[in-house]
Chain A
Amino acid sequence: MMGGVMTRWTHEQVTKLAPDSSSLNAARRLAVPGPWSDAGASETLLWGKCQGSGKTPYQVSVDLTGPAFRCSCPSRKFPCKHALALMLLWVDGQGTIPDTADPSAFAGEWAAQRAAKAVATASKPEKKPPDPAAQARRLEERLALMDGGMADFALWLGDLMRGGTAAARHQPYSWWDGTAARLVDAQLPGLAEQVRTVASEVRQRDDWADLLLAVAGRWWTATHAWSARESLTEHEMGDLRAFIGWPYSTEEVKAADAVTDRWLVLGAHRSDDGRLQQQRTWLWGETSHETLQVLDFAAGGQPLPVARVVGSVLQATVARYPGTTSRRARFVDDPLPVGDAGGLPAGGDVEDALATAARAWAVNAWAARVPVVLADVQISASHLVDKAERSLPLLRGTEPWLGMAVSGGSPVSVFAEVEEQGLRPLSVAIDGKLVAL
């Protein structure tokens, strides 16, 4: 086995791929040599045949750097238990799966198909949108709802300011939640979510008054921008839509702005507020030098899609959502893993990171966070500190320990999200590898 790949995959990484715990349990039972034949591993591929209940064994192939999976079984789980089991056997099986450069025929063919597909995707015809008249009518109804909701919200902000933030702080949660519920009804779920978040923060934080004042100001700009939306550019409208929670349909995005590049997976962050799980993956284009975010959501106990391996490089075409900076993107098709990044793109010091963030916020004041690469910074229990001893605090809820453990207080390159209150490191480059935090 080539050292780079072998050492990068861990048992934990494999188990994180599981769509749910029952798949993982089923996979553990299959992760023994018994049912497997014709199995092997190369630097990028892992394959094997798994004897199931039927006569013909299932053919399982895993593209390791993606990761991407194929299995001839009928399961709708992705990855299925066979692919998970094969990976578990590979990481835990003490060489049960032999290393060889020549994949089995079925795995080799699949890899070749994937490569060909990645090339062909760009010219794929688009689906024709259904019934333009009905669409236009639905849009009009939606806009009317949103107009009303925005006007109400502006009045609510005025009341908040006239009555005072101290009084608002003593309002019961239902007062905030009622506002949020009206925003949801008005198809403004992004604002509703922010109102709920702020409601809990004003009760918990010492600096709640500054926070509420600044957020109220930002909400206020959204209400004004909405009334003047005719004058916004397409990209400014994209920023506003992301802020208030008016999503673009897949077709709208795919039709737009595609860009093909080799994308380095800089880092990822998962959050779960009980209702909604969110996964944010940051990509950096080796040619375009553009940083994009891919957002995935899952609600009601559904599993999030497979996380991209931090540090891998993906050959992919992504469609960019309208927006000015830190744009959201989605993969047009399955990305093709093409290798490993040895580290992070060039970064700056703390001043540079703040300047980058200020520039981004000058363009898009509604962006919650700005991605930055910091070079030569030390990770302490509470801060990142650069060579000039300038520092930024870690955001609340950020665990510094893994970053400290791997860096040992030595200067390292770090990929992080800068937010108003501080930053959140997401990966750190150590010994020619990118470690996800």
Chain B
Amino acid sequence: MSTPDLDLWWRRLGSAALVGTARRPAPSLAELELGGGSALRPRAGARPEDAALDAAALGGALRRAGRLASTQAPSPAAAAPELLPEAPVRAAQLLELLLTQPPTDNTGTEELLLHWAATCRQAGYHVPHRLLPALLDRATSKELRSQVSVVAGERGAWLAPQNPAWSWFEESRRLHEATHAIEEAHDPDRWALMGTDERVSQLRRVRKGDPAAGRDLLLTTWNTDPAKDRRVLLEALLVNLGPGDEDFLEGALDDRAASVRELAAHLLDGLPGSNRAARMAERLSPLLGETGLLRRHLEVRLPDDPDAAGRRDGLGKPPPGRSARGWWLERIVAGAPFDAWGAPPEKVVPRLKDDDVMAGLRRAASVRRAPDWARALLDLGLEPDLLAVLPEDERESRVLDNLARAPHTSIPALLASLPPPWSPRLSAAVVTRLAGLKPEQTGPLLEVLMPQLVRGLHPDAVPALQRWRAKAQLPRRHDAKLGSLIQSRTLRQTISEAFQS
């Protein structure tokens, strides 16, 4: 019996069944030609519906048993062999634990997964194949995806594109490579084809090594890029901003997009030797009082309405809620070189009162990375942006000084100025500060601070955490948070060790 005959007969039976044998009788079994001249004999005297059911029973059995393999599905291409060894058994078990039975809350698990992937990458291993599906499913944040796209190895690179749910993989991997590659020729042809995210990370990377080359790269497409792209690409010039960028930025002050003009003016704040800085100095000097250095307070007058040149230099519409003149003063102060003040920072800053002036100086100190002005300003109050200008140990000392005396509600902001992970010294100080809080302050603060603690605390602080937990007897909910924190710090250490074996 050939299959087409059966198919045809089955379709006829199907259309009879669809409308019902009351309207259309089913084809007889006798019409079904079987090989070797044999045929099925229908039961004599069966009602039409019974005959149809007989036919369905036999036809269905024939079709099921006679099923042919498809020749349509192509053989899948095999994955390339791995270039790196598989993660050690112990590390694999820890990853499996994180994926299947996370021992901490979601924030903690995410951080541990990031740590696992980063350690795996540094140690030069790939994720065990059997854990790839679960890990790819779990990677929902941009950061984890970036790490996973690398440690997933050749097998991951082969597997992920086949599942639409993992379509983020290839982009993440390219982006990661662009961010981490040391030597890669910046081919202008490829630059033009990159997505915006990829171009930003490429530009930042090139700027780190060779600012001029980065600028040239940007220029190749500058006239055709849409305003939105020009804006985000221009922001990358902040990396290694220098006098060589002045001409380009000066030109960008005449850009057709307001957002680009505004950003160019802000970037020029970082170039105190520029023509714009000189123009700002000219605008600032008539505002400074003639009272000289003997007066206790240094008065700074508000500027008049800017002329066209002033507006071009960034004296535009103030942000909502700000007075226009105050805003212009801030922008003038931020743009003028420090020597327009005619005295060193420790002589100038303490004598200033005006908030707009202070804001301008803070802006100038941070964008020009000027530690001496930053220090003088930090003595008046801690500002994360200014801290970033200081060398790392000095930065930490300042946070440590403030940690003990700052009100507990400002602890999160204080710690935010130090990127994780924190040193053992700072971690210990944080735990000491938290342990010294009143019980009713601890819980709410823990809620806010948990993401920072999870990423920042050094594993050496775990014993101190455990002692505090035992002593504090926090309410159940907050005690659980603390337990989760301890668990995650311990596991973090365990993960690092698992890759060393």
* Residues of A bordering B, CB below 8 Å: 6-7, 10-12, 15, 91-92, 94, 157-159, 161-167, 209-210, 212-218, 220-221, 350-351, 354, 357-358, 361-362, 365, 378-383, 385-386, 389-393, 399, 401-402, 404-406, 408-410, 420, 435
Contact = CB atoms under 8 A, between A and B. Distances in A.
Choose among A161, A382, A402 the residue with the greatest number of B CB atoms under 10 Å from its CB.
A161
Given A213-B56, A217-B61, A406 B19 contact: no
B101 A210 contact: no
Contacts of B21: 161-162, 164
A158 B18 contact: no
Given A158-B47, A220-B53, A406-B129, A11 B18 contact: no
A383 B130 contact: no
Contacts of A158: 47, 49-50, 53
Nearest to A359: B65
A361 B69 contact: no
Interface string B82-119: 00000001100100110011000000000000000000
Prevailing SS type, chain B contact patch: helix
Contact of A163 (B10, B22, B73, B76): B22
Choose among A213, A378, A392 the residue with the greatest number of B CB atoms under 10 Å from its CB.
A213
A350 B69 contact: yes
B10 to A, nearest CB: 8
B42 interface: no
B57 interface: yes
Contact of B96 (A10, A161, A351): A10
Contacts of A391: 69-73
Contacts of B66: 358
Nearest to B135: A405
A242 to B, nearest CB: 17
A290 to B, nearest CB: 22
12 contacts: A15-B101, A162-B21, A164-B17, A166-B20, A214-B59, A380-B73, A381-B76, A385-B74, A390-B71, A391-B73, A405-B133, A420-B64
Contacts of A94: 90, 494
A167 B162 contact: no
Interface residues of B, number: 58
A405 B82 CA distance: 13
B56 A402 contact: no
B132 interface: yes
B76 A362 contact: no
A10 B155 CA distance: 21
B75 interface: yes
B57 A220 contact: yes
B52 interface: yes
A408 B74 CA distance: 15
Contacts of A420: 64, 67
B78 A383 contact: no
Contacts of B93: 10-11, 91-92
Contacts of A401: 132-133, 159, 163
